[in-house]
Amino acid sequence: MRNTLIYVHYEPLAHLFLTAGLSASDVLAAARVPFRHLLLLPPVSDDEFIDPHTGFNEISGAEAVAAFLRSKQARDRSWLDYKHGTYLRELTPSEIAELLYLGHAKRHIQPPYYYKLQNQIVYLPLNNDMVTLYVRKLELFSQTLSAAIVRNLRLAANDQPFWLRLRSQHFPAVPSSVIETLYPALEDGLMFDLSRGGFSRDQVKIPLVHPKGRFVPDQVLAPDQGERRGDLILVRATGQWRVTGLTQPI
């Protein structure tokens, strides 16, 4: 089975999530109200529209934004949403400098939720194939994580014998109420190890594992390098998700 996993480390003070296995398309799938404007942080491309006030690239229009978030380009660009096009002109030089630092250093001077922009999310791809997300409301992250779980679960299911696959590989979304129970464990760092998940006629079981050392993408953990914290389970007959055996760090 392919090494399909998700990792999340949550820092609650800034609503910051260090992640692996989440994509911009998962954010798009999670958004109940479509994003209409994105500000792309440097480097600036001359081939895209440049906002004259900030000097950054911008994308406007729900269709253009959705096409960008589904594209390969979105994997490598840092961006944040904003509510109205006129709001960019209200940014001060110091706020623009903060955004420039955010795009370059991939970390904040202060939590990057701007009243003038009314942004909901900041997406910062890192050089190690991980992504830092700042998310104003936890509900949006819960929905993004759910979208990532379902997407990766489909990949893992492709490696199962045909008779074990769900019809059309349909997996229901993980309710936010279920994901909310995981937030305390996410503060310590948690892997959703779909590559070692259990598929049966009755259920799908995803191990929840805390890596004891520093998490490194694509590195296979030895048995003594991870601590089982519980399981995320989908009951096939009812389509319901639940968490079982969840333990917290001592």
Q: What is the mean pLDDT of residues 25-45?
A: 94
d(CA 144, CA 146): 5
CB 71 within 8 A of CB 34: no
Name which of 192, 181, 223 is nearest 19 in CA terms. 192
Please write the tens of the pLDDT for every residue from 143-172. 999 999 999 988 887 776 654 555 556 789
Count of domains observed in the chain: 2
In a domain, 5, yes or no: no
Residues 219 and 147 in one domain: yes
pLDDT of 223: 64
On average, the pLDDT of the chain sits at 90
What is the model's pTM?
0.92
Residue 202: which pLDDT band, with cuts at 50, 70 and 90?
Answer: confident
d(CA 17, CA 11): 6
Residues 169 and 123 in one domain: no
- Note down the domain range covering 62: 11-137
Residues 127 and 144 in one domain: no
DSSP string, 50-117: B-TTT-SEEEESHHHHHHHHHSGGGGT--EEE-S-GGGGGG--HHHHHHHHHHHHHSS-SS----TTT
Residues 118 and 64 in one domain: yes
d(CA 240, CA 243): 10
pLDDT of 2: 47
Residues 240 and 174 in one domain: yes
Residues 89 and 106 in one domain: yes
Residue 4: which pLDDT band, with cuts at 50, 70 and 90?
Answer: confident
Residues 132 and 146 in one domain: no
Residue 240 token pair = 């319901």
Q: Identity (one letter) of the amino acid at 138?
A: L
pLDDT of 54: 95
Q: What is the mean pLDDT of residues 34-40?
A: 95
Residues 119 and 172 in one domain: no
Counted residue by residue, the chain has a size of 250
pLDDT at 29 over 60: yes
Please write the tens of the pLDDT for every residue from 63-122. 999 999 999 989 899 999 999 888 899 999 999 999 999 999 999 999 999 999 999 999
Q: Is 56 exposed, middle or buried (0-12, 13-18, 19+ CB in 10 A)?
A: buried
For residue 72, what are the contacts with CB-CB under 8 A and spacing of at least 6? Answer: none
Q: Please report, rounded to a whole number, the percentage of residues in the chain having pLDDT higher than 90.
A: 70
Tell me how far CA of residue 75 lies from CA of 25, 69, 72, 89, 203, in angstroms.
9, 8, 6, 27, 32
Name which of 184, 165, 149, 194 is nearest 29 in CA terms. 149
pLDDT of 79: 97
Torsion on CA atoms 127, 130, 134, 137, rounded to nearest 10: 160
pLDDT at 1 over 60: no
For residue 155, what are the contacts with CB-CB under 8 A and spacing of at least 6? Answer: 2, 4, 194
